[in-house]
Structure 1
Amino acid sequence: MTTLSSHILDTTTGLPVEGITVQVFSFDNQRFDTQTNADGRCSDWVGELSAGTYQIRFHVGEYLIQTHGKAFYPHIDITFIVNDEKHLHVPLLISPFGFSSYRGS
């Protein structure tokens, strides 16, 4: 079984992003919701994930509009595969018109 964590960093300000709703969807109809904390992080909200394909959705639009006056993405979806890892970390780097993610540790 695999645990999951994430964090969001605004690359324009260089600061973590607090209060973003983050959802994880499994393809067998499970859904887990949380919000990022003051350090832009979220973890331990989904319990352990079994092997399979998942999607994580970051609801960033409102934050980007409030902080930067505009946003191209209302939300950002990242689909990933869980195999036999003990832990996965899916970070998100955002700006009003771009984003980046990678498999973290």
Structure 2
Amino acid sequence: MSSQILNLTQGKPAPDFKISLSKQDDTGKRVTLDEKYTDVNGRITDFLKVNNGTSQHGIFKLMYFVESYFEKLNQSSFYPFIEVVFEIKDDNHYHVPITLSPFGYSTYRGN
């Protein structure tokens, strides 16, 4: 599983952007699995590594820490964070990108 953030106001990737990944357990509680920062290309390529023993099936949430990113750029933003909740039902690769500006965003399932 991977993610990427593109800053639309700058027309380039968003490096050093904090993202956390959690999974819903059998009781409905969310358990944080990992927390990382994007690389210079605005990417995190290694969430949910196959060999770490974590099942890739289930309901997951990516939390994008928007406010802290824009604060580093001396910009205000409307969203303090973005939560993207999705379900994985197979063993395919999932890529969840975000296109972002201080006052809007879009996401989709990439490849």
- TM-score, normalised on structure 2? 0.84
Is the contact made by 2:57 and 2:91 (CA closer than 8 Å) also made in structure 1?
no
Percent identical: 32
Deviation at 1:65, TM superposition (A): 3.2
Q: Distance in 2 between matches of 1:30 and 1:23?
A: 7
Q: Secondary structure at the match of 1:61?
A: helix
Match of 2:96 in 1: 90
Distance in 2 (CA, whole Å) between partners of 1:33 and 1:60 is 14
Over 4 Å off, 4+ runs: none
The residue that corresponds to 1:103 in the other structure is: 109
Query: Would you say the 8 A contact 1:5–1:90 is kept in 2?
Result: yes
How many residue pairs get aligned? The number is: 102
Q: CA deviation at 1:50?
A: 2.3
Secondary structure of 1:25's aligned partner: strand
Q: SS of 2:73's equivalent? A: helix
Match of 1:31 in 2: 33
Shift of the alpha carbon at 1:73? 0.7
Q: Which runs of 5+ in 1 are unaligned?
A: none
**Local SS of the residue matching 2:69:** helix
Whether contact under 8 Å (1:6, 1:89) holds in the other structure is yes
Cα 1:24/1:31, change in 2 over 3 Å: same
CA distance in 1, matches of 2:56, 2:69: 32
CA deviation profile, 1:22-71 (whole Å, cap 9, x unmatched): 11100122421111000000011332342110000011112223436210
Question: Of 12, 18, 26, which residue of structure 2 is paired with 1:21?
Answer: 18
**Structure 2 spans left out of the alignment, 5+ residues:** 26-30
CA-based RMSD: 1.4
